[in-house]
Amino acid sequence: MEPILSNVPGTLPWHVWHERHPAMFASLVEAHPFPPSTRTALDELLHETLTPEWLGTPFLAAESVFYRRLLEAIGYFTPDGPWAGFDLFAFLKDADLASASLDLPDLTPAERLLAALWGNQADLGFQLGSAIGPAAHLVVDQTDDALSVLTGAPRVGLVADNAGKELLADLGLVDWLLAGGGVDEVTVHLKPHPYYVSDATTTDLVKCLRALASAGGRATDLATRLHTAAAEGRFVVATHPFFCAPLPFHEAPPDLFGAADVLVFKGDLNYRRLVGDLRWPIATPFASTVPPLDAAIVALRTLKSDVLVGVDENSVTDLEGDWRVNGRYGSVQVVSRPAAGPTPPASGPVSPSPGRG
Ligand SMILES: O=P(O)(O)OC[C@H]1O[C@](O)(CO)[C@@H](O)[C@@H]1O
């Protein structure tokens, strides 16, 4: 199966490099007092990424390396430098969190699951390049199966995606799992440092909890329950360098997810890493594309890139235009836990071999 590349004009990856990234760089430079050397480094990075070498590298790997290079360009990893450890996307993530409604409604388990899914629409990198319409429908809806594998599972891992509103919705789901879903322990897997524009780090999770705690009503109660669960070792925050690696989850270290019985993968990028960023025919069975994890899998995603599997082709014939990438459609997809040991996928992904550019 061929990897998705960025060298075809008119495709989403082409748009990302040629339009979305320049717009993002303009907003970063406007928001920060970067010195001339940093501005030059950013310009050079932007130009470098438009070379045939970058555009001909698998999109998944190239984009990941790009975000690493962006942090290097601002001095994020320069010890004792003024920008060491500085989250250059914090201004966007904080604004998104500040605009969230914390007057939490009383949601059913299915509504909490779908809130976590549609919360994925609020991806700031995506918004920088296009407008998001009202929430629409699911091209695959296995919500009942998802609730069934989650309810009563001993250990659940949630592989988080974006900060702000999406992470708030994720915490709503985690709260239900621990308080009403009969789950003993939930681990939220976060990025070890800023990555794609709005990816959630530990700092972002703490900001969400503090916002909830000070909001009053159901929000404060939720934050209190999660703090108590954390003190009891039932709500666990974890991170690992692999979450910022330019690789699909098929190449994850074996201990990445601990002893999780169910893994919830949030968002588009995690979906691409879960099934492989490949030109799959959309009718390819979802279960045949995921890595052989010893856990059930629940993927909650709004569709923002070309990769899509597990879809009945007849069910999407009426959808028009850029429905596969415009973020207005979503999917809930489930793979049950293997009965006896992992099952190898029918067709493994091509491993990207990113150059550092
Ligand atoms: O935040 P999400 O849902 O992972 O979406 C980010 C998506 O936007 C993109 O960054 C496009 O640049 C995709 O690579 C990625 O799949």
The pLDDT value given to residue 125: 58
Average pLDDT over residues 281-287: 97
Average pLDDT over residues 122-146: 67
**Ligand 1 centre distance from Cα of residue 63 (Å):** 9
- Closest atom of ligand 1 relative to the 20 alpha carbon: 12
- Closest atom of ligand 1 relative to the 60 alpha carbon: 14
Higher pLDDT, 355 or 303: 303
Mutate to test the pocket of ligand 1, among 268, 300, 324, 328 (most ligand atoms within 8 A of CB): 268
Q: Please indicate whether residue 269, judged by its CB atom, sits closer than 6 Å to ligand 1.
A: yes
Average pLDDT over residues 263-283: 98
Q: Is the pLDDT of residue 76 over 70?
A: yes
Per-residue pLDDT tens digits for 20-60: 999 999 999 999 999 999 999 999 999 999 999 999 999 99
Mutate to test the pocket of ligand 1, among 14, 25, 269 (most ligand atoms within 8 A of CB): 269
Q: Is the pLDDT of residue 19 over 90?
A: yes
Which residues, in sequence order, are bridge partners of residue 300?
Answer: 266, 332
Q: Please indicate whether residue 196, judged by its CB atom, sits closer than 6 Å to ligand 1.
A: yes
Q: Is the pLDDT of residue 338 over 60?
A: yes
- Closest atom of ligand 1 relative to the 198 alpha carbon: 1
Per-residue pLDDT tens digits for 149-208: 999 999 999 999 999 999 999 999 999 999 999 999 999 999 999 999 999 999 999 999
Q: Please indicate whether residue 267, judged by its CB atom, sits closer than 6 Å to ligand 1.
A: yes
Average pLDDT over residues 252-273: 97
Q: Whose CA is nearest to atom 8 of ligand 1?
A: 126
Q: Is the pLDDT of residue 287 over 90?
A: yes
* Predicted confidence band of residue 242 (pLDDT cuts 50, 70, 90): very high
Q: Whose CA is nearest to atom 1 of ligand 1?
A: 123
The pLDDT value given to residue 128: 44
The pLDDT value given to residue 137: 82
Q: Please indicate whether residue 59, judged by its CB atom, sits closer than 6 Å to ligand 1.
A: no
**Ligand 1 centre distance from Cα of residue 268 (Å):** 5
Q: Please indicate whether residue 304, judged by its CB atom, sits closer than 6 Å to ligand 1.
A: yes
Q: Whose CA is nearest to atom 13 of ligand 1?
A: 269
Average pLDDT over residues 63-69: 98
Q: Please indicate whether residue 162, judged by its CB atom, sits closer than 6 Å to ligand 1.
A: yes
- Look at 162-176, 279-293, 308-322 and tell me which has the smallest mean pLDDT: 308-322
- 3-state secondary structure labels for all residues of the chain: CCECCCCCCCCHHHHHHHHHHHHHHHHHHHHCCCCHHHHHHHHHHHHHCCCHHHHCCCHHHHHHHHHHHHHHHHCCCCCCCCCCCCCCCHHHHHHHHHCCCCCCCCCCHHHHHHHHHHHHHCCHHHHCCCCCCCCCCEEEECHHHHHHHHCCCCEEEEECCECCHHHHHHHHHHHHHHHCCCCCEEEEEEECCCCCCCECEHHHHHHHHHHHHHHCHHHHHHHHHHHHHHHCCCEEEEECHHHHCCCCHHHCCCCCCCCCCEEEEEHHHHHHHHHCCECCCCCCCHHHCCCCCCCEEEEEEECCCCCCCCCCHHHHCCCCCCCCCCCCCEEEEEECCCCCCCCCCCCCCCCCCCCCC
**Ligand 1 centre distance from Cα of residue 60 (Å):** 10
Per-residue pLDDT tens digits for 294-305: 999 999 999 999
Q: Is the pLDDT of residue 329 over 70?
A: yes
CB 163 within 8 A of CB 93: yes
The pTM assigned to this predicted structure is 0.93
Per-residue pLDDT tens digits for 97-132: 999 999 999 999 999 999 999 998 866 555 544 444
CB 183 within 8 A of CB 149: no
Residue-averaged pLDDT of the chain: 92
* Predicted confidence band of residue 321 (pLDDT cuts 50, 70, 90): confident
The pLDDT value given to residue 352: 37
Specify the residue for token string 């001993």. Answer: 154
Q: Is the pLDDT of residue 357 over 90?
A: no
CB 30 within 8 A of CB 91: no
The pLDDT value given to residue 224: 98
The pLDDT value given to residue 251: 98
The pLDDT value given to residue 231: 98
